[in-house]
Amino acid sequence: MSTRFWRIIKLTALLEVLLLLTPLLPAGHLVRAQSDSDGYTRVVAPILRERCIACHNHTTRKGGLNLESYDSLVAGGRRGTPILPGKSGESLLLKFIDGTMQPRMPLGDALSDNEIATIRSWIDAGARGPASEMAKASATPAPEPARRELPPLMPSRPSASPIGSLAVSSDGSMIAVGRYREVELLDARTGRVRQTLKGAGEQVRALGFSPDGRLLLAGGGSPGQFGEVRLWETAGGTELRSWRAHRDNITAAAFSPDGKMIATASYDKLIRLWDAGSGAEIRVLRDHTDAVFTLAWSADGRFLASGGADRTVKIWDPSTGKRISTLGDALDAVNAIAFDRSGRLLAGVGADRIIHLWQIGESGEGRRLRSLIAHEDAIVAVTFAPGAKSLATAAADRSLKIWDVATLTETHNCEPQPDWAQSLAFTPDGRLLLAGRFDGSLGYYDPATGRARSANGQTR
């Protein structure tokens, strides 16, 4: 028989084998997916989840856009709906990711050509979402799991718990020391404990006196479970109120300079403003894309600064909740910030081991003045002396240093610390620098010499 005949026989047999195998192959290998979930759930959602959700989630919502589900994507943001089914060229989502509109998204980390092509094809095919049951499930938040209170873990023998926060009253008469589940109020003249305020949840990570010294604010909570605020009267130690303020541990809390507001920050990426008199929430500040570690009010109360794990310092208008500016000079997480008494000089420190100094203008815009690699490990605390001519920093290398603000030159390197000095505070007269350490000890230093002192100011 001819060669042509045998070729026809072989091709026929091959087609028969393919037809027999067809039911065994996934439909997606042969034809375009007809199920909507094959397009969105299988290929589009993973791209959005991996590349976009850090800035566009239910908490942050940059541009008012949440990309965590198909329904929230279709709902759109402040610019309207981001997708027009069948019209990728007219869809805002595609225009921003391919650079047709600026700024190109994601910022500084553009999608690959294949990822862009995938989203373009999905939109042109109709931009269908998950099946109705799946859409209903994605639109309905899963109920929160029951929060279980963890049993208290107590040491087997007496020991000083770590100092997580410090505060000094404006008249210099009281020192507040935040420890595990309690706050100690010390007589600043003698260093002796006047009273112990019990009931705080876990480690007390933030403390602040009201401007008149009558109230003491404490922030803490249980990691991954809740953030808690407690408010006491300092005269008798009476607890006035407490409330669950965040969905994760509170990392910073402070009274506004006029004492009318309280600002709190948390690992949950949020900053919340509260009425100091009633405890009612005033507003929520959303723009950080990771945990917020630190807060600072300007002296006139016009600005609130925040810093966190997203490597940024942000300046806010607390009267409106609007972000004024973002300072992105830090190379790693920002652990602590502080304003000087003028409210126009801001210091920031963190995991990059650098002291950053910014000049804050009348409108709240920041300009970097100078920076310096100051320690051999992450810097964990910073505070200005009352006269703003010097500032102090403490780091994970167990060093404590005092600096000249004008030149950022080191004036004193205090004795090596027995453990991390997690909290620093100057007395209002500037005569003493306090260092609260992880081993539970409280150190006193003379800023003029860098030498250790006792609570009453005597050289040790």
Are both 180 and 247 inside the same structural domain? yes
Are both 97 and 179 inside the same structural domain? no
Are both 308 and 416 inside the same structural domain? yes
Are both 226 and 82 inside the same structural domain? no
The amino acid at residue 321 is: G
Are both 436 and 293 inside the same structural domain? yes
Whichever domain contains 311, its CATH number is 2.130.10.10
Are both 224 and 287 inside the same structural domain? yes
Are both 190 and 124 inside the same structural domain? no
Instruction: Find the largest Cα–Cα distance for the chain.
Output: 115
Are both 350 and 238 inside the same structural domain? yes
What is the rounded distance in angstroms from the CA atom of residue 70 to the CA atom of residue 134? 10
- Which domain covers residue 339, as residue numbers? 165-453
Paired tokens of 7: 């070729």
Residue 144, domain member (yes or no)? no
Residue 102, domain member (yes or no)? yes
What is the rounded distance in angstroms from the CA atom of residue 425 to the CA atom of residue 448? 15
Question: What is 26-38 written as a DSSP string?
Answer: -GGGTS---SHHH
Facing residues of 412 across strands?
402
What is the rounded distance in angstroms from the CA atom of residue 88 to the CA atom of residue 91? 5
Question: The pTM is what?
Answer: 0.70
Residue 221, domain member (yes or no)? yes
Which long-range contacts (C-beta less than 8 Å, at least 24 apart) are formed by 25-34? 32/125
Residue positions counted in the chain: 460
The H or E element containing residue 349 is: strand 345-350
Residue 21, domain member (yes or no)? no
For residue 324, the model assigns a pLDDT of 96
Question: What is 311-340 written as a DSSP string?
Answer: S-EEEEETTTTEEEEEE---SS-EEEEEE-
Are both 178 and 110 inside the same structural domain? no
Per-residue confidence in pLDDT tens, the chain, 460 aa: 444 544 544 444 444 444 444 443 333 333 333 344 457 888 888 888 888 877 787 666 677 788 888 888 888 887 778 888 888 888 888 888 888 888 888 876 788 988 889 889 888 888 888 864 344 444 455 555 555 666 666 667 677 889 999 999 999 999 999 999 999 999 999 999 999 998 777 889 999 999 999 999 999 998 888 999 999 999 989 999 999 999 999 999 999 999 999 999 999 999 999 999 999 999 999 999 999 999 999 999 999 999 999 999 999 999 999 999 999 999 999 999 999 999 999 999 999 999 999 999 999 999 999 999 999 999 999 999 998 799 999 999 999 999 999 999 999 999 999 999 999 999 999 999 999 999 999 999 999 999 998 876 565 5
What total of structural domains would you count in the chain?
A: 2
Place of tokens 């410090």: 166
Are both 129 and 219 inside the same structural domain? no
Check: CB of residue 99 under 8 Å from CB of residue 105. no
Are both 220 and 357 inside the same structural domain? yes
Residue 142, domain member (yes or no)? no
Are both 93 and 193 inside the same structural domain? no
